Amino acid sequence: MKLSIENLKAKIGDKSILNGINLNIGEREIHVIMGPNGSGKTTLAKAIIGHPNVKIDGNIMIDGKVINELNAEKRAKLGLFLLFQNPPEIDGVKFISFLRTAKESLQGSTVDIKKFMSDIKEYAAKLKMNPDIIGRSLNYGFSGGEKKKAEMLQMMMLKPKLAILDEPDSGLDVDSIKIVMNNIKEMFEKENMSVLIITHYNRIFNYIKPKHVHVMIDGRIVASGGPEIIDIIESKGYDYFLKSENKKE
C-alpha cells in the first residue's frame, strides 16, 4: 500500500490545525513524525483514518486513488489502522467481542474461533499482557500501558497494510517499550506493512531504525530526511528547524 498526501489542510471546528501537509509513504517503509506539542501530529493521524471531526482540504490517496470521501470503516477495509494516543474506554463492550467483530468486518466472513483464540493467546503472550484483559470491557479501567498493549494486540490480529501509531511509547515503562517496539519491528518484517510512527521521544530508536524522519511544526512538515534528523533534534532541539524556516521566509 502506498499513501500520498497532497497539500492537506485540516480544521477541527473553526480552528485550522494542518496548513499544507505533503507526505509520501511507500510499500514496506517506516516513517517517523516528530514535533513539539500542538504541532498537529495527532490531527494528521485522524485525518488519514477519516475521523469525522476533522474537516479536510487537499487530497489523501491510497495507491493513487483519492479516499477523501471514504469513512473510517471503509478506510480500515482498505488496510489502514490507527493506534490511538488515548484509546477510548467503552464499558459494557467486551474487548474480545469488539476484536472479533472488527476481524469479521474486515475479512467479510466469520472467524475460525479456534484459530482466533489461539492467535489472541499467542500475541498476548508476546506482549506480556495479562490474559484476563481480553474478557474485560474495552479499555475500561485499563492502565496506560494496558491500553497501548491492547491496541497493539488489535493491530497484530487485524494485520493492516499501513499502521499509524500515535505515540505507541507513551504510558509505557522501559520494559514495556522494548516489548511493544520489538513486536512492531517483528510485524513490519513479517507482514507486507508500512508504518507511520508519531512520537516525542528518541528512545524508540533504540529498537526501530527508520529511514524516513519528518519534523512537524505548526501544522506543516518543515524538514524531512533520514536518521540525521534525529541527531539534530537531540543536539539542537526543534528551534533549529524553526530558525531554518524563518530564514527561508
State the pLDDT confidence band at 245, using cuts at 50, 70 and 90.
low
State the pLDDT confidence band at 144, using cuts at 50, 70 and 90.
confident
Q: What is the 3-state secondary structure (H, E, C) of the chain?
A: CCEEEEEEEEEECCEEEEEEEEEEECCCCEEEEECCCCCCHHHHHHHHHCCCCEEEEEEEEECCEECCCCCHHHHHHHCEEEECCCCCCEEEEEHHHHHHHHHHHHHCCCCCHHHHHHHHHHHHHHCCCCHHHHHCEECCCCCHHHHHHHHHHHHHHHCCCEEEEECCCCCCCHHHHHHHHHHHHHHHHHCCCEEEEEECCHHHHHCCCCCEEEEEECCEEEEEECCHHHHHHHHHCCHHHHHHHHHHC
State the pLDDT confidence band at 243, using cuts at 50, 70 and 90.
low
Checking if the pLDDT of 169 tops 80, the result is yes
